[in-house]
């Protein structure tokens, strides 16, 4: 039975650093810690690696943490446990899911010399298959809780690196608010915050058109990105799109940022669709939402779309326009639900 989420107090995007230090000290004593992290939506996308094992991205990316959605993960290094045990939303997980978590915990164990297996419990307050990259929040929370439970005092950059090794985009869920992840080597390819959650009243409206589990996930997708002849062009232009997006973000200029994030999305999906094998993530309703977005803009509703590795569409607008966008999105045939979130804080330890 899921038990963690029900105990979470109302969240603030602000984090008390003294409390974090105290929680870290207690975690080191008890070999147990619980952390919370938000998923993030990329405005400039990461797609393709130059090193798959270390998850070193082909290009830099930029994202916003999603305050209203989160994953809570608790890690206990237990004496007498033979191997890591993982439960997600109350269900025990073995096989590739467990192997991936064990690989992240091994990085921590190697660093500390700790020779204990861990019990990991993880729960999210958003549905699987909802178009939210659940692995980003999951590996950010696992890294923060795992490092603390092992008594490892890591900097934000070191935690971001650890999270990246579990799931690339997870490194962007470690710092607060709007984050940039630079390409680089294993030490330098980490995410940093460009602006805190209170910088801009942006909203992400996740328009759910399908909850089906996708057949090729992002780990597999990154591995075939180079089979598209469009990938070199996408990578070559990523830096300048990121610079334009960053400048508009810092100036809170959605009219400039919106077209850049739409272009970046379409280029990534063109790479996906033209690879071998091709990845067609869109459904007919995905296209209907794209076309509706263009129509809403003609009607003076400022809203822009972005789409991750799936059929669901993220609509980005300022908070004052969110109710109108939500109502309009819900009227489109094939739309099942709309989840709404503002910008979120960093991954952090929580009291348990």
Q: Which residues bind ligand PMV (CB under 6 A)?
A: 42, 45-47, 61, 133, 135-136, 167-169, 218-219, 222, 308-309
Q: How far is the CB of 159 from ligand PMV (least distance, A)?
A: 16
Q: How far is the CB of 47 from ligand PMV (least distance, A)?
A: 6
Instruction: Give dist(CA 110, CA 103) in Å, integer.
Output: 11
Q: Which is nearer to ligand PMV, 167 or 180 (CB)?
A: 167
DSSP letters along 116-149, please?
-EEEEEEEESS-TTSSS-HHHHHHHHHHHHHHHH
Q: Which is nearer to ligand PMV, 136 or 315 (CB)?
A: 136
Q: How far is the CB of 172 from ligand PMV (least distance, A)?
A: 7
Q: Which is nearer to ligand PMV, 76 or 169 (CB)?
A: 169
DSSP H stretches of helix in 48-92: none
Instruction: Give dist(CA 199, CA 64) in Å, integer.
Output: 11
Q: Which two tokens stand for residue 217?
A: 């996930």
Instruction: Give dist(CA 58, CA 49) in Å, integer.
Output: 5
Q: How far is the CB of 56 from ligand PMV (least distance, A)?
A: 12
Instruction: Give dist(CA 193, CA 272) in Å, integer.
Output: 28
Q: How far is the CB of 309 from ligand PMV (least distance, A)?
A: 4
Q: Which is nearer to ligand PMV, 32 or 222 (CB)?
A: 222
Element (H, E) at 103: helix 96-112
Instruction: Give dist(CA 188, CA 197) in Å, integer.
Output: 24
Q: Which is nearer to ligand PMV, 138 or 148 (CB)?
A: 138
């Amino acid at each position: 039975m899921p038990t963690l989420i029900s105990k979470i107090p109302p969240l603030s995007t602000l984090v008390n650093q003294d409390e974090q230090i105290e929680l870290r000290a207690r975690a080191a004593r008890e070999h147990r810690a619980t952390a919370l992290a938000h998923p993030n939506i990329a405005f400039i996308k990461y797609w393709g690696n130059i090193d798959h094992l270390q998850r070193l991205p082909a290009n830099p990316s930029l994202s916003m943490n999603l305050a209203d959605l989160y994953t809570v993960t608790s890690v206990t290094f237990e004496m007498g446990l033979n191997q890591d045990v993982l439960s997600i939303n109350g269900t025990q997980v073995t096989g590739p899911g467990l192997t991936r978590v064990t690989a992240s915990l091994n990085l921590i164990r190697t660093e500390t010399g700790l020779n204990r297996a861990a019990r990991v419990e993880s729960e999210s307050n958003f549905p699987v298959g909802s178009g939210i990259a659940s692995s980003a929040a999951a590996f950010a929370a696992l890294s923060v809780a795992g490092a603390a439970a092992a008594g490892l005092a890591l900097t934000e950059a070191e935690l971001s690196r650890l999270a990246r090794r579990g799931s690339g985009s997870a490194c962007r869920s470690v710092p607060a608010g709007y984050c940039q992840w630079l390409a680089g080597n294993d030490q330098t390819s980490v995410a940093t915050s460009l602006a805190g959650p209170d910088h801009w009243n942006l909203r992400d409206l996740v328009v759910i058109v399908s909850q089906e589990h996708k057949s090729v996930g992002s780990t597999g997708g990154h591995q075939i990105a180079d089979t598209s002849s469009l990938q070199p062009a996408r990578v070559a232009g990523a830096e300048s799109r990121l610079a334009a997006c960053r400048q508009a973000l810092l100036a809170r200029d959605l009219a400039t940022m919106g077209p850049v994030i739409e272009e970046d999305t379409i280029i990534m999906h063109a790479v996906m669709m033209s690879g071998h094998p091709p990845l067609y993530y869109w459904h007919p309703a995905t296209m209907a939402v794209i076309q509706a977005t263009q129509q809403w803009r003609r009607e003076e509703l400022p809203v822009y779309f972005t789409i991750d590795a799936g059929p669901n569409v993220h609509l980005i607008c300022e908070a004052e326009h969110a109710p109108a966008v939500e109502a309009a999105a819900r009227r489109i045939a094939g739309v099942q639900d709309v989840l709404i979130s503002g910008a979120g804080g960093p991954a952090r330890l929580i009291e348990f």
